[in-house]
Amino acid sequence: MAGGRGRGGAAAGRGMGGPPAKCVCPQCGYEAAKKRGLPCRRMKCPKCGTPLVGE
């Protein structure tokens, strides 16, 4: 068991980048602040209606 096995397991790499700081429209480039608890894909761009993506 030497060599660090068991520390972190399969979840060790999760969350390294953290949640997105903003949501962006892939169509027109509109940017909105990320709202906690609301995935970007559930928000729609007010300019063109396209679902936003996390960035």
The 10s digit of each residue's pLDDT in 16-38 is: 677 889 999 999 999 999 999 99
| Residue 10 domain-assigned (yes or no) | no
| Residue 6 domain-assigned (yes or no) | no
| Residue 4 domain-assigned (yes or no) | no
CA distance 23 to 25: 7
Closest CA to 18 of 42, 41, 34: 34
Domain that holds residue 28: 18-55
| Total-model pTM | 0.65
Alpha-carbon radius of gyration of the chain: 17
CATH number of the domain within which 29 lies: 2.20.28
| Residue 11 domain-assigned (yes or no) | no
| Residue 45 domain-assigned (yes or no) | yes
| Residue 42 domain-assigned (yes or no) | yes
Output the pLDDT for position 28.
98
Which tokens go with 29?
């480039």
Average pLDDT score over the chain: 82
CA distance 25 to 28: 6
Q: How many domains does the chain have?
A: 1
